[in-house]
Structure 1
Amino acid sequence: MLDSKRSIFSWALYDWANSAFATTVMAGFFPVFFTSYWAVGASAQQGTFYLGLANSIGALIIALFAPFVGAIADYGSYKKRLLVFFAILGSILTASLWFVQKGNWQLAVLFYTLGTIGFSGGNSFYDALLPHVASEKKVDFVSSLGYSLGYIGGGLLFLVNVLMFLFPERFGLADAGSAIKVSFISVGIWWILFTIPLIIFVKEKKSEETLPIGKAIRRGLSETISTVRNIRELKTLSLFLISYWLYIDGVDTIIRMAVNYGTALDFPSESLIIALLITQFVAFPSALAYSWFGKKIGIKRALQVAITAYALIALMGFFMSKPIHFYLLAICIGLFQGGIQALSRSYYTRLIPKEKSAQFFGFFNMLGKFAAIIGPLLMGIVTIMTGNNRFGILSLILLFATGGILLSRVDEELGKQECEAFSDKY
């Protein structure tokens, strides 16, 4: 049932569940521990390259399979089951980082990459369930609610993990390194625990033509090929996807590489972790506030404001020299991070046929993940070539500028008309 409070909250709670991976692992402890423990002996530039490579490999795998698996989910009504599969994969591999020994950066990259696949793959089907829980009237609020709960949930566990890191003896741990390893286990448990409400209370609307898994795979492959061939008919949607691909590239890269960048500038680990906490707790109310802001000035204009803000953030990052600058940057990121993600997702729902939501969100996530391939790798390559991490973050401005220009050419009403014609035809 659309707009049910219980299903909406249960759906949004999955963001609370898996955001622990985004905060504690992806943005926080993995970059710190990777450089100082698993990639010990490597230079700051080499550490940036290795981490960028790990993020890019996981993104590539998800990008290649997202639309195909999404089509299967549509025909077999497997969205929720596939979400649970990826959640279990991600949680187990995250907890498995406990076993990776010092200097073994290759195994750390493997486990982290598989954990990232679980995180990104689960998000594809989480996004695809959004039209099944919220009507168009509430979709902006519900999308923002998910991100908001994600920031506060991920932030709360991260706060506990940070206290473990700063005061390991109070938690019965030997040292800060042991605290980080225990944190990886806590993320795996948290992820699974708070996925349970979605499993119980979110009802996936059955496809009009529910197929067995074998036939769903064949039909999914056929539909994916067909959609690739015919998506050029959805010119407005295609333009938005290209725009999204570019600007979300910069957003994802800043999220994933910020701590590594701060480490390269010789900022203390404690300062970097505190900055991440600041981002989480600023982003919690900001995600909801940005939904209100989008209604006041229009969703597309709100996205353009956020894109411009991120370009300025990248520029500020280039000139950053003190930990206090990192804190100010963390506040700025928190103000816009949830807004640009939530409104991009809800804006996209206006341009796609609901009966093929998983398939089209597969393409949405595919482009987002292809962007996440280019961004971290670009930052790593530019850093290696110039020998200066600052130029790596500066290169992201081009992505925001180009994405913003293309977004200005998107016409939502025309996109809806094209979507209706596409649904009638296929």
Structure 2
Amino acid sequence: MPMDTDKRRILAWALYDWGNSAFATTVMAGFFPIFFKQYWSQGTSATESTFYLGLANGLSSLVVVVMAPVLGAIADRAGLRKRFLMVFGFLGILMTASLSWVAEGQWLLASALFGCGVVGFSGSIVFYDALIVGVCRDPDRERVSAFGYGLGYLGGGLLFALNVWMTLEPATFGLADAAEAVKLSFVLVAIWWLLFSLPLVLLVKEPPVAAARSSLGAVRGGLHQLRETLSHIRQRRQVFWFLLAYWLYIDAVDTIIRMAVDYGVALGFDSGSLIVALLITQFVGFPAALAYGWLGSRIGAKAGILIAICVYIAVTFYAFFMESVQEFYVLAVTVGLVQGGVQALSRSFYSRLIPPERSGEFFGFYNMLGKFAAVLGPVLVGWVGVLTGSSRYGILSVVLLLVAGGLLLLKVDGRGGRAEPLPRQEK
């Protein structure tokens, strides 16, 4: 972490990643796919439950796609980034805790609560990302962004390790069985997320706005600004090409993250071994994300992203031919080396292409494309699996997205120089 910036503010901002990453690890990537397949979807086939899981991920992401740019524009006009983050964060926290009360076989209710939880998680990230422009100076952006992701891997991994221990030895914690341990884990995730949201709420300041707006004025101004920015994105080649490239390659990355455990279960691997593999990814991801931030500051964010895309292409082919749990462990380590890096460098690279006074709106588009990718990717994996009768072909389809995203990224100026601030028209 850089020495010449406000360390307390940076740490407070990054601790939100430490807190909400528990949802990404324990719920999204870890326990929910396994519990959904083995507990809430009992009696359905593996490919059918994979389709339901992909549909829940896809529909929840679609909601964020629709809301993110509009709310981002309104937040910029009214100075509401922190407030919107808190609203979405609390939604995710509440839905996560509610999963603990869903009974066996109630896959529809579980899907609905999970989907709303994903909306809260993903929606809060829009405004969390936007706050980075007020947390640190431009030259420190790669390292601070990577620091946030690194803390996320560590924090999410620590709670996940405790939750795994609870499920493997429920009697040690006074629990009846593994199912009760999983349900308690959902409650612990909600508490963890809430607790580590408080430093950001208390210490991170809302970036200043040009002029105060009433609620109605902010909505009108935000919608006008949204239309205006769509026009400016079309005119600004660097932003346009990056967003298109990001849309494609992050589709593959998010799909691999969300569907990896479900894929392992479909191949017949032991669920306990898959959870251990996820833990490996988390703890490899912590130092790897920090190292990737340093690498990005040396060779450039664009080069770092392209290296990660190449690694993901190799990983996807490897997963297609995978036969054993040991090979899944190798995959977990490899993904951990680049997962946080590609996300952190993408965020910092994009932050240099956009006007800081409209960070909420532009990061709304950024997250919109990321979540729109997550609409298609998981559904595609599930649909191809049902169509072919094999989950292997579904996971292989993401290679096309990685290749296309990498080729488009080559068109973007590698220096990541920021465009001049956009003119603001008052309405």
Q: TM-score range by the shorter chain?
A: over 0.9
Could you tell me whether the CA contact under 8 Å between 2:352 and 2:416 is conserved in 1?
Answer: no
Q: Distance in 2 between matches of 1:84 and 1:239?
A: 31
Aligned to 1:171: 173
Partner SS, residue 411 of structure 1:
coil
Match among 340, 343, 353 for residue 341 of structure 1: 343
Is 2:206 the partner of 1:204?
yes
Partner SS, residue 351 of structure 1:
coil
Is 2:81 the partner of 1:91?
no
- Aligned amino acid, residue 247 of structure 2: W
Structure 2 length normalisation: TM-score? 0.97
Could you tell me whether the CA contact under 8 Å between 2:356 and 2:421 is conserved in 1?
Answer: no
Aligned to 2:245: 243
How big is the shift at 1:288? 0.4
Aligned to 1:420: 420
Could you tell me whether the CA contact under 8 Å between 1:234 and 1:422 is conserved in 2?
Answer: no
Structure 1 length normalisation: TM-score? 0.97
- Aligned amino acid, residue 79 of structure 2: S
Match among 326, 329, 337 for residue 327 of structure 1: 329
How big is the shift at 1:423? 4.3
Q: Distance in 1 between matches of 2:397 and 2:281?
A: 22
Q: Distance in 2 between matches of 1:175 and 1:304?
A: 45
CA deviations 1:283-312 (Å, max 9, x no partner) are 000000011112222211111000010011
Aligned to 1:258: 260
Could you tell me whether the CA contact under 8 Å between 1:77 and 1:206 is conserved in 2?
Answer: yes
Match among 364, 367, 372 for residue 366 of structure 2: 364
Could you tell me whether the CA contact under 8 Å between 1:18 and 1:191 is conserved in 2?
Answer: yes
Is 2:108 the partner of 1:141?
no
Residues 207, 159 of structure 1: alpha-carbon distance in 2 compared, 3 angstrom cutoff: same
CA deviations 1:383-415 (Å, max 9, x no partner) are 011000000111110000000000011114586
Aligned to 1:126: 128
Partner SS, residue 268 of structure 2:
coil
CA deviations 1:71-114 (Å, max 9, x no partner) are 11001110011111111110000000011111111111100000
Aligned to 1:352: 354
Q: Distance in 2 between matches of 1:384 and 1:24?
A: 26
Partner SS, residue 137 of structure 1:
helix
Match among 220, 223, 226 for residue 225 of structure 2: 223
Aligned to 1:391: 393
Moved more, 149-158 or 213-222: 213-222
Q: Distance in 2 between matches of 1:409 and 1:424?
A: 28
Aligned to 2:216: 214
Q: Distance in 2 between matches of 1:38 and 1:331?
A: 30
Aligned to 2:186: 184
Aligned to 2:274: 272
- Aligned amino acid, residue 38 of structure 1: W
Residues 57, 410 of structure 1: alpha-carbon distance in 2 compared, 3 angstrom cutoff: same
CA deviations 1:263-297 (Å, max 9, x no partner) are 00110011000000000000000000011112222
Gaps of 5+ in 2: none
Aligned to 2:304: 302
Identity %: 53
How big is the shift at 1:205? 2.1
Q: Distance in 2 between matches of 1:188 and 1:397?
A: 34
Aligned to 2:59: 57
Aligned to 1:13: 15
Aligned to 1:47: 49
Is 2:383 the partner of 1:381?
yes
Q: Distance in 2 between matches of 1:117 and 1:202?
A: 23
CA RMSD in angstroms, aligned pairs only: 1.3
| Number of residue pairs matched by the alignment | 423
Partner SS, residue 252 of structure 1:
helix
Q: Distance in 1 between matches of 2:327 and 2:217?
A: 55
Gaps of 5+ in 1: none
Q: Distance in 1 between matches of 2:96 and 2:376?
A: 24
How big is the shift at 1:208? 1.4
Could you tell me whether the CA contact under 8 Å between 2:29 and 2:259 is conserved in 1?
Answer: yes
- Aligned amino acid, residue 17 of structure 1: G
Could you tell me whether the CA contact under 8 Å between 1:353 and 1:423 is conserved in 2?
Answer: no
Could you tell me whether the CA contact under 8 Å between 1:236 and 1:415 is conserved in 2?
Answer: no
How big is the shift at 1:421? 6.5
Residues 144, 421 of structure 1: alpha-carbon distance in 2 compared, 3 angstrom cutoff: closer
Is 2:32 the partner of 1:30?
yes
Q: Distance in 1 between matches of 2:89 and 2:336?
A: 25
- Aligned amino acid, residue 373 of structure 2: A
Could you tell me whether the CA contact under 8 Å between 1:234 and 1:415 is conserved in 2?
Answer: no
How big is the shift at 1:47? 1.0
CA deviations 1:11-44 (Å, max 9, x no partner) are 0000001000000000000000000011111111
Q: Distance in 1 between matches of 2:9 and 2:421?
A: 31
Residues 411, 102 of structure 1: alpha-carbon distance in 2 compared, 3 angstrom cutoff: same
Q: Distance in 2 between matches of 1:222 and 1:184?
A: 40
Q: Distance in 2 between matches of 1:73 and 1:205?
A: 10
- Aligned amino acid, residue 412 of structure 2: V
- Aligned amino acid, residue 341 of structure 1: Q
Q: Distance in 1 between matches of 2:200 and 2:150?
A: 17
Partner SS, residue 420 of structure 2:
helix
Partner SS, residue 40 of structure 1:
coil
Q: Distance in 2 between matches of 1:26 and 1:370?
A: 17
- Aligned amino acid, residue 121 of structure 1: G
- Aligned amino acid, residue 135 of structure 1: R
